[in-house]
Amino acid sequence: MSQSESRTIAYLFSSLVGAGLYFLYLIQQYQEGGFNSPTISSSWGIAVLVVIGVQIVLSIISAILVSIIEAIKAREEVPELSDERDQLIELKANRISFSVFGIGFLLAMITLAAGLVPLVMFNLMVFSLFVAAVSGYVSQLYLYRRGF
Amino acid sequence: MFHSSTFTGEGSEMSKARVSNSIRKFRFNHDEMTQQQLAEKVGVTRQTIIAMEKGKYSPSLELAFRISIAFDSPLEEVFSYDLQDTNQ
């Protein structure tokens, strides 16, 4: 497994942990009846910001861990190398990610147009963000495995 | 002994174009140069060399030139483009 693949797996893992944390919070709020609270919008915003922060920290830690593991495996310092194929794979994965988020955004707008509460729209947007990130990383892994 | 790998370019008209390379043959003829050695020489990862040899990845013109310079051979000897298969 190449360094790029290991790094992608690490990012995928941090995305999944972030999503897991957010949806745990969602379930907790639902069980406690927090959906009906008047301060729900601000607490939701704080929750999303916290999850983003956690995800950034996890991504940094996992990227460092991957570099250390790769260096130990190679018994020397592994140069950080990203070539044109890596960049093209990243671009393709980003395109998939944006498309997935676009679909999620569209669905979120449909829920607003259908007269559902903004909370549904907001959560659908957050959900599509996570799905977009995960699908981007999964497609990146697939392209790395296939060659291009 | 060696088979040149062939890959299909992207794009509507270009999809029928076939580009092939003889990187493996050239490596063999250059003191059995390893994929890692070639990768380091041209500034890419070993995975990119593997993908090119398998015919999965079409390199940029710049990388193609760098590879041909690494083998001290003209570009058209390392890479070839089959015009007969293009949909013109």
Listing DSSP states for chain B in one string gives ----EEEEPPSTTGGG-EEEE-HHHHHHHTTT--HHHHHHHHTS-HHHHHHHHTT--PPPHHHHHHHHHHTTS-HHHHEEEEGGGS--
Look at domain B5-81 and name its CATH class. mainly alpha
Chain A residues inside the 8 Å CB shell of B66: none
Which residues have C-beta within 8 Å of that of residue A93, sequence separation ≥ 6?
A: A136, A137, A139, A140, A143
Domain residue limits, chain B: 5-81
Inter-chain CB proximity B54 and A147 less than 8 Å: yes
Which of B16, B67, B11 shows the shortest CA–CA distance to B39?
Answer: B67
User: What is the tens place of the pLDDT at every residue in B4-55?
Assistant: 555 544 444 444 457 899 999 999 999 999 999 999 999 999 999 999 999 8
What chain B residue is nearest to A147 in terms of C-alpha separation? B51
Alpha-carbon radius of gyration of chain B? 13
Amino acid at A64: I
Q: What is the pLDDT of residue A2?
A: 81
What chain A residue is nearest to B9 in terms of C-alpha separation? A148
Examine the predicted complex and report whether its ipTM is higher than 0.85.
Answer: no
SS3 A75: coil
